[in-house]
Amino acid sequence: MSKLPNNQPQNRQVRIEIKDDIADGTYANISFIASNNSEFIFDFARFLPGNSRGKVVSRVVMGPIHAKAFLKSLNEAVERFEKQHGIITAENLNKNIGFAIDQDILKDIN
Cβ atoms of residues 104 and 79 within 8 Å: no
β-bridge mates for residue 34, sequence order? 41
Distance (Å, whole) CA 98 – CA 75: 27
Q: Is residue 108 part of a domain?
A: no
Domain that residue 71 falls in:
20-89
Query: What sign results for the dihedral spanned by CA atoms 61, 64, 66, 68?
Result: positive
Does residue 77 sit within a domain?
yes
Tally of structural domains, the chain: 1
Would you give per-residue pLDDT tens digits along the chain (110 residues)? Answer: 556 566 666 788 999 999 999 999 999 999 999 999 999 999 999 999 888 899 999 999 999 999 999 999 999 999 999 999 999 887 655 555 555 555 565 565 55
Residue 14 lies in a domain: no
Is residue 102 a part of any domain in this protein?
A: no
Question: Is 11 contained in some domain?
Answer: no
106 in a structural domain? no
pLDDT recorded at residue 89: 85
